[in-house]
Structure 1
């Protein structure tokens, strides 16, 4: 169970789909799927919102063999990338799978990583097959430069409308309008598939192995499991957490804690502060989505560090307040309560 590919091609294969890899909160998608059939080596990734597959045609020496697939965990991708960088582009790498390991054998050194064979990866062939076949009824199939598409990554939620093959792609958002011209076919930017029919035929071998019933409602694409993690760097998920916390605190506040003043006050403060934080985040996002994303990411880093007390103390001093007085007042209040209880 092995395939051979040169270092440069493996590097390109991984780089093409790396941006589509899921976060650590969805273990099955947090990595790159290496999928081998009798004709191609594929690299596949999905973050639940996008899915992408890149392929490399195997040489005659790699055939025939039984298809196999393993997911490279996201934690190992940097090590693999750095290992590939140590060799010449033409250097051959043999990739083999055995039980719970993937072995990369190079001209000078080898790299072995542990993988999980129990994680279910979505039927990516089926998901893409369904949408490619649905798109076969359309007529427009312009060629677009992906580096230009990246210029529209401005933090907005975009809507797009394809007009015709030789006409621009229109992009709309609140207070934003843009267009991207298609690549001109004059030999300068060659495009292998001149029509959708050509492209469809070129991928029939791959997509035919996918289920016609597969779609993005696969359970693996379900909401991320946060049971093992506490912090998110995503604005929308942060907003959801704040709203969820506010409601939970209100429900607890109106529940059994009514008869316990300390618990009631704690739930009340939690609900109030979660709602305030959500309103502030929502206002910031509407004013400047990129600033909101930066604040959420930086705050997530603070929470991961766990030194909230130290950060809050420094922030209070920087703002001109007196956290030492707050602390002294807090200790005095505790002493009064202890004396009263005695």
Structure 2
């Protein structure tokens, strides 16, 4: 069993829930994965276009590292647990097929683990090598329909591209995310033409100032 501070379970879920895959996606991405490494509890979700990892320090317990995959079908139960327990410290126990959440008042809620996805996605392998790369001086294109998925992050949110055709990293306090690029039609020529088309507005803006 491990213990996390009050109001942290809600943050972990709110920052990763928007990145859970839809019903039409593979079962492997219709989930939030929780994993404990002895120091932090992480929550991770991805829909293949964005990937989000939120973390909190473990304040008590001595469990060996574990992971637990919660399918989207169990997220309403997770929301109920958060509403009931989040104002106090939360104890988390990983059993063979459940993640059991309990609080100081004796409340105890068991969340069934995913019957579909058994092996968690290795987000560390995907993302951590990119942390060593400096921001790339290249243009990138992103799909704006995913921008709203980052709205629950605390300010400031920082972003940079890791290279041509590579993911852009999204960084905030105790949060690491990524958004995959989309193909840019016309590459730099089309971008330059679009930017140049705005130059005619400059005198009007200057006069208004």
Shared fold, TM over 0.5: yes
Q: Distance in 2 between matches of 1:5 and 1:13?
A: 11
Alpha carbons 2:35, 2:42 under 8 Å: kept = yes
Alpha carbons 1:7, 1:84 under 8 Å: kept = no
What is the TM-score with the length of structure 1 in the denominator?
0.38
Q: Distance in 2 between matches of 1:40 and 1:95?
A: 13
Q: Distance in 1 between matches of 2:20 and 2:86?
A: 26
Q: Deviations over 1:196-249 (max 9, x none)?
A: xxx99x99xx9xxxxxxxxx9xxxxxxxxxxxxxxxxxxxxxxxxxxxxxxxxx
Q: Distance in 2 between matches of 1:114 and 1:191?
A: 33
List runs of 5+ in structure 1 lacking aligned partners: 141-157, 161-170, 173-188, 193-198, 207-215, 217-342
Give the drift of 1:62.
Answer: 2.5
Matches within 5 A, 1:96-135: 96-106=93-103, 107-116=105-114, 119-133=118-132
**Counterpart secondary structure, 1:54:** strand
Q: Distance in 1 between matches of 2:40 and 2:86?
A: 23
List runs of 5+ in structure 2 lacking aligned partners: 145-154, 159-169, 181-209
Q: Distance in 1 between matches of 2:110 and 2:76?
A: 14
> Greater share of strand residues, 1 or 2?
2
Q: Distance in 2 between matches of 1:19 and 1:62?
A: 29
Give the drift of 1:66.
Answer: 1.4
Give the drift of 1:78.
Answer: 1.4
Partner residue in 1 for 2:18 = 19
Q: Distance in 2 between matches of 1:191 and 1:77?
A: 26
| Bigger Cα Rg | 1
Alpha carbons 2:77, 2:111 under 8 Å: kept = no
**Counterpart secondary structure, 2:7:** helix
Partner residue in 1 for 2:43 = 43
The reply on whether 1:159 has 2:141 as its aligned counterpart is yes
Partner residue in 2 for 1:32 = 32
> Greater share of helix residues, 1 or 2?
1
Q: 1:191 to 1:101 in 2, by over 3 A?
A: closer
**Counterpart secondary structure, 1:8:** coil
Give the drift of 1:111.
Answer: 0.7
Could you say which structure has the greater relative contact order, defined with CA pairs below 8 angstroms and 6 or more residues apart?
Answer: 2
Q: 1:9 to 1:159 in 2, by over 3 A?
A: same
Alpha carbons 1:29, 1:121 under 8 Å: kept = no
Q: Distance in 2 between matches of 1:15 and 1:104?
A: 17
Alpha carbons 2:13, 2:43 under 8 Å: kept = yes
Q: Deviations over 1:142-177 (max 9, x none)?
A: xxxxxxxxxxxxxxxx926xxxxxxxxxx99xxxxx
Partner residue in 2 for 1:240 = none
The Cα RMSD (Å) is 3.4
Q: Distance in 2 between matches of 1:138 and 1:87?
A: 40
Q: 1:137 to 1:113 in 2, by over 3 A?
A: closer
Q: 1:88 to 1:137 in 2, by over 3 A?
A: closer
Q: Distance in 1 between matches of 2:41 and 2:17?
A: 16
Q: 1:102 to 1:130 in 2, by over 3 A?
A: same
Q: 1:129 to 1:76 in 2, by over 3 A?
A: same
